[in-house]
Amino acid sequence: MSKIVILTGIPGSGKTSILTESVALLNRERKKTVSVNFGDVMFDTSGVAHRDEMRKLPQEKQIENQKKAAEKIARMAKKENVIVDTHCTIKTPSGYLCGLPEWVLKNIKPNVIVLVEAEPSEIKGRRDSDESRKRDEESADDIDAHQKLNRAAAISYCMLTGATMKIIKNRDSYLLDAVKELAGLF
């Protein structure tokens, strides 16, 4: 039976780095696992030119894109283990949008929801050095508040699905520890 893990974390937490290394490790161990980025699946149907523009779309369009992405991922999970790279919450101009609303969770049916966290100062440093993205400027206090909001959202998602929640700390220079922790869920 395949397993579905939703991997979340705010931008700069390192979730995508952990994901890439974990999938490679799992496949070396012959635990066939694929990764899918929820935002990439949404982007394919969004009609915007740059991925960071999606969070500025009208709420109705974001919901429509979420539904389509969840349906596609659910079909994938029928065949193999899937780790979904996504966000618990997305900061938009009108406030925070739940990244995993009920209609997404009901389609995906995760076994575990993982929060990747790091010290706010580490996340700020990672964001400041990443020139490939167009992110809004946030203070370490803003980053800390967003991580706390994600914890509240993740436990709510678990209540809706029966999934468990795990927090993985991704400290600078300790990526391998976080990778092993994620891979250990399979």
**Is the model's pLDDT at 2 over the cut of 90?**
no
Kindly report the pTM of this predicted structure. 0.86
d(CA 110, CA 103): 13
pLDDT in tens, 92-148: 888 888 889 999 999 999 999 999 999 999 999 998 888 777 677 889 999 999 999
pLDDT in tens, 56-100: 888 888 888 889 999 999 998 888 999 999 999 988 888 888 889
Q: Which domains does the chain have, with CATH numbers?
A: 4-183 (3.40.50.300)
Average pLDDT over residues 171-185: 94
